[in-house]
Amino acid sequence: MFLPTPTPVPSMTWCLPGCSTNLLTVPGLETPPLAMRGDERMGGDRGLPFEHVPVMPKEVIHYLDPGPGKTILDSTLGGAGHATKILEAGAALIGLDQDPNALSHAAQRLEEYGDAVALRQLNFSEMLAAGREICPEGVDGILMDLGVSSHQLDCAERGFSLRAQGPLDMRMNPDEGVTAAEVVNEWDETELARIFWELGEERKSRAVAGSIVRRRVIKPFRDTLDLADCVSRVIGRKGRIHPATRVFQALRMTVNREMECLEAALESAPALLKPGGRIAVITFHSLEDRMVKRFFKSRSQPEIDRPEWPAARSNPDFCMNRVTRRPVVAEPDEVKKNPRSRSAKLRIAEMRKVGAS
């Protein structure tokens, strides 16, 4: 399905056993089996089984409508829950994940689909180059299922969990960017308060930042429970949600530059999709949902009007139609079985067909 490509991409890349392509180039990795191992180098998980229940799988398949002859780019492969359903429907799959550990688990799970699958360890902000290289004619669908997987949360050593002791890391790609410990121990108080407020919507953002800065002078933060405890003392315990949840979320979003990467990926999506191709984005955070909503709106309006203009002007970015005006949410039954789906919002847009009005 995926043809050999002459251009090497500077990232870990491999194709599955039995694949007829030359994607078995793995710069920086000696052999594919190493990539399959889920060891320390891969952001290891000490053999923890990969548990992640895909959110709104029925709805994703309904709107992306994968089938024979189609290629879907899953830009957040994770445990390959959605990807498996896409392949079962007969489509080919390009799978991306910036987390090498997720990718190695997904590779094992998708092994049986052979050369219908091409996988890359890549941030989805760079999906345009990879997508064009693997599938120059464009893809029929793009899936973005944002945030972290349950598996990443379950691995204490990744540092995402505020309930299990681990190093304050939180990087989805363990080879890139700053760790949460660096942010917490080195950023100034105003900046910390800003991210807690903007990304975590934490009402006590300034008090939390102040407390962190006073404590780190005595002893820098190194592990998750230490930070969770310091934050909880300021916020106080109320209800079932852990008091440090919003601060941890803000740190994770900062460390992984989640808003910037989402923006870059959305901007590149229209250039990757074929006419009639669809993009489906699942968000779990109001800021992300707002960004997706605004992006789809900005690409689906034939005209733009501003109060200072004498008349509306045609929109040079007009290239999509929104498939649903309102976000799709999980059915009560799914929320009962998979509480993670409670806050999920799915938005879908479709590329206009050439000549369509």
Ligand X SMILES: C[S@@+](CC[C@H](N)C(=O)[O-])C[C@H]1O[C@@H](n2cnc3c(N)ncnc32)[C@H](O)[C@@H]1O
Q: Does 97 bind ligand X (CB under 6 A)?
A: yes
C-alpha–C-alpha distance, residues 346 and 288, integer Å: 11
C-alpha–C-alpha distance, residues 319 and 29, integer Å: 40
Q: Does 38 bind ligand X (CB under 6 A)?
A: no
C-alpha–C-alpha distance, residues 283 and 330, integer Å: 12
User: What Rg, from alpha-carbon coordinates, does the chain have?
Assistant: 21
Of 5, 149, 205, 249, the one binding ligand X by CB under 6 A: 149
Which region, judged by CB under 6 A, interacts with ligand X, from 92-100, 205-213, 267-275, 304-312? 92-100
Q: How near is the Cβ of 222 to ligand X at its closest, in Å? A: 23
Q: How near is the Cβ of 35 to ligand X at its closest, in Å? A: 15
C-alpha–C-alpha distance, residues 170 and 158, integer Å: 6
Give the three-state DSSP class for 308: coil
Bridge pairing between strands 117-121 and 13-15: antiparallel
Name the DSSP class of 78.
T
Q: How near is the Cβ of 145 to ligand X at its closest, in Å? A: 4
Q: Does 54 bind ligand X (CB under 6 A)?
A: yes
Binding mask 252-291 for ligand X (x = CB under 6 A): ---------x------------------------------
Of 78, 100, 243, 270, the one binding ligand X by CB under 6 A: 78
Of 79, 95, 159, 174, the one binding ligand X by CB under 6 A: 79
Q: Does 92 bind ligand X (CB under 6 A)?
A: no
Residues of span 160-189 touching ligand X by CB under 6 A: 172
Q: How near is the Cβ of 276 to ligand X at its closest, in Å? A: 23
Of 15, 16, 80, 272, the one binding ligand X by CB under 6 A: 80
**Of 242 and 257, which has the nearer Cβ to ligand X?**
257
CB 300 within 8 A of CB 161: no
Q: Does 76 bind ligand X (CB under 6 A)?
A: yes
Give the three-state DSSP class for 72: strand
Which region, judged by CB under 6 A, interacts with ligand X, from 141-149, 179-187, 228-236, 331-339? 141-149
Of 38, 43, 95, 147, the one binding ligand X by CB under 6 A: 147
**CB hemisphere CA count around 137 (13 angstroms):** 8
Q: Does 145 bind ligand X (CB under 6 A)?
A: yes
* Sequence-ordered list of residues with C-beta below 8 angstroms from that of 121, at least 6 positions apart, any chain: 11, 12, 13, 96, 97, 98, 99, 100, 103, 173
Q: Does 227 bind ligand X (CB under 6 A)?
A: no
- CA 333 distance to own-chain centroid: 25
Residues of span 306-325 touching ligand X by CB under 6 A: none
Of 52, 70, 120, 158, the one binding ligand X by CB under 6 A: 52
Task: Encode burial over 82-95: b for 16+ CB neighbours within 10 A, e otherwise.
Answer: bbbbbbeeebbbbb
C-alpha–C-alpha distance, residues 113 and 317, integer Å: 37
**Of 209 and 281, which has the nearer Cβ to ligand X?**
281
Q: What values do phi and psi take at 63, rounded to 5?
A: -80, -35
**Of 53 and 213, which has the nearer Cβ to ligand X?**
53
Q: How near is the Cβ of 147 to ligand X at its closest, in Å? A: 5
**Of 234 and 251, which has the nearer Cβ to ligand X?**
251
C-alpha–C-alpha distance, residues 121 and 100, integer Å: 6
Applying CB under 6 A, the residues found at the interface with ligand X are 52, 54, 76, 78-82, 96-99, 102, 123-125, 145, 147-149, 172, 261
